[in-house]
Amino acid sequence: MRRKLVRRKVVLDHPYSHLDLATERDEKGRLHTYIHGTGPEIAFSVPLWDDGTVTLNSQRRFGMKARSIEVPGGHVDAGEKPLAGARRELREETGIRAKRMTKLITCFSSIKVQQRVHLYLAEGLTEGEQQLDHDEEIDLIRLPLGDAVRRARRGWMVHGPSILALYAAAEHVRTRG
């Protein structure tokens, strides 16, 4: 006998996140309640300059006592492909345009919140002007990729997708020869 969904209650319905409490009955009649979330896909990119440096965002995030250090990225708009979303977010948040975007990893933000996260390496970069949303406060930081990875490992960065993106970018660069 398979588990049967008994009840589902919406606890949050927002354009960026949908959360349910779902209750199932197992083969022995026991009830199990789970948090389950979904949301639009998210795309991030690591902008890697020809000199081996990367550009990161330092931005205010509600609820954090310090600024969050992140790779550029954000939600993929409805009807937009993740690659196009990564390019758009890179341009808006940093002003940077990339000639080449290499897919690094696709994963979920968590198992409870099954929101796809796409990570890219951006290369062949040119600078431009930021096009920030009204609620974005982003300063740019440029440093060597290796330094960014070491700092992330020491806790300078706490944004999980950004840490994973830096590690994946460093591994990609190391193994391509």
Judge if 50 and 121 occupy the same domain: yes
| Residue span of the structural domain in which 23 resides | 4-38
Judge if 26 and 55 occupy the same domain: no
Mean pLDDT of 27-47: 95
Map the chain to HEC letters.
CCCEEEEEEEEEEECCEEEEEEEEECCCCCEEEEEEEECCCEEEEEEECCCCEEEEEEECCCCCCCCEEECCEEECCCCCCHHHHHHHHHHHHHCCEEEEEEEEEEEECCCCECCEEEEEEEEEEECCCCCCCCCCCEEEEEEEHHHHHHHHHCCCCCCHHHHHHHHHHHHHHHHCC
**What's the pLDDT tens digit per position in 105-157?**
999 988 998 999 999 999 999 999 999 989 889 999 999 999 999 999 999 99
Mean pLDDT of 2-7: 93
| Whole-number pLDDT of residue 177 | 61
pLDDT band at 103 (very low <50, low <70, confident <90, very high): very high
Judge if 48 and 23 occupy the same domain: no
Q: Percent of the chain at pLDDT above 70?
A: 99
pLDDT band at 2 (very low <50, low <70, confident <90, very high): confident
Judge if 33 and 51 occupy the same domain: no
Judge if 60 and 141 occupy the same domain: yes
| Whole-number pLDDT of residue 109 | 87
**What's the pLDDT tens digit per position in 41-65?**
999 999 999 999 999 999 999 898 8
d(CA 126, CA 69): 21
| Whole-number pLDDT of residue 1 | 65
Judge if 138 and 165 occupy the same domain: yes
Q: Which of 175, 177, 172, 176 is CA-nearest to residue 54?
A: 172
Judge if 13 and 96 occupy the same domain: no
Judge if 170 and 154 occupy the same domain: yes
**How many domains is the chain built from?**
2
**Model confidence pTM above 0.85:** yes
Q: Are strands 97-108 and 73-75 parallel, antiparallel or unpaired?
A: unpaired
Judge if 88 and 152 occupy the same domain: yes
Judge if 24 and 63 occupy the same domain: no
Judge if 62 and 140 occupy the same domain: yes
Edge-to-edge strand ranges of the sheet holding 17-25: 4-14, 17-25, 31-38
| Whole-number pLDDT of residue 91 | 98
| Whole-number pLDDT of residue 124 | 98
Judge if 28 and 46 occupy the same domain: no
